[in-house]
Structure formats: structure tokens, C-alpha cells
Amino acid sequence: MLAAALCIPCFSLERSSDLYKQGASLAMKGDIDGAIEKFRKAVEAGPYYCLAHYGLGKAYLYKYGMIDEAIIHLRESVMLDRKLARGHFYLGMAYLLKRNYVYAVHSFKAAYEADDSMIEALYNIGVAYDMMGKDYNAVIYFRKYYAEKNNEGGDSLF
């Protein structure tokens, strides 16, 4: 009896993982509505599976008027896995689209800290600071981005 009870979470995670993969495949083919349906089922099957929330949140970013829903699921994905760099990155994108620039900066910084090869986060931090009118901070991050992109430590933007 105990063995059966312990396998239920395993089955749910396996089912959720399969649904996530199906949703990702549909999204890559451009079927965002189909992907959203699969990701919703993945979240239902495994509410603690970070990639299910990530997939659903990212898919919502592609749907007009669903930024708030995207933020809910992307935030859940990074709460479940603090090192999910791509979750932090797309959460930053959602906040940027929502014009919540302070939260966008925090999310992009978390993405870069989790994965320092994600240099686009540095560029987006610069964009967020620029949108806030913080030119000095924007220039710092644009320079960091270009230095990383060019693998040089120079001061020049170009």
C-alpha cells in the first residue's frame, strides 16, 4: 500500500513532464493555443513542476492581453526553482512589457546570476534603466553587455 502511495507523485511528475514536452513541441510549431492547453494540463498534473509553470507563463507572453497570467506562472516557476535562469529571464520580459521596470531589473539580474552566459539579460537591464530615465545605470549595463558579447573588457560601446 505504501509503495503505491509513493508512486503517485512519480507518475504525476512523469505525466507532467510528458505534457510539458508536448506543449513545447506545439509552441515551436507556432500552435500557441494548443501549447497553452498542454501546459495547463501539465500544471494540473504536477503543480510543483517548475517547467510546467515556465512553459505556461512563456506561452502566455505570446498571447495578447495575458501578461498578468504570464507573470503568475513565471513567478511560480522561479519560486519552485530559484536557479531557473530562463524563468527569471522571461519573468523579466513580462515585467518589462508591463512597464514594471524595477521588477524587470531584479528578474534579469537573477537570470544572469543563475547563468552568466545569458548576456541578453544585461542588455535588458540597460533597457529597463533607460526606460526609468537612469541613463548612468543604463550605460553601465549596455557596456557590460557589449563587453561580454565581444569578449573584451573595453570601455567602448561600439
What are the angstrom distances between the C-alpha of 128 and each of 101, 135, 141? 5, 10, 10
**In the block, which residue shows the cell 505556461?**
56
Q: Please state, in angstroms and rounded to a whole number, the distance separating the CA atoms of residues 43 and 36.
A: 10
pLDDT per residue over 15-60, tens digit each?
889 999 999 999 999 999 999 999 999 999 999 999 999 999 999 9
Please, is 100 exposed, middle or buried when counting C-beta atoms within 10 Å of its C-beta (0-12, 13-18, 19+)? middle
For residue 6, pLDDT beyond 60: no
Helix-helix angle 67-80:50-61, to 10 degrees: 160
Angle formed at CA 23 by CA 18 and CA 28, multiple of 5 degrees: 125
Short-list 103, 102, 76, 100, CA closest to 87: 76
Per-residue pLDDT, 15: 87
Given a contact cutoff of 8 angstroms between Cβ atoms, the answer to whether 36 and 59 are in contact is yes
Query: Residue 126 is placed in which grid cell?
Result: 540597460
Mind listing the pLDDT tens digit for each residue in 81-117? 999 999 999 999 999 999 999 999 999 999 999 999 9
CB 106 within 8 A of CB 121: no
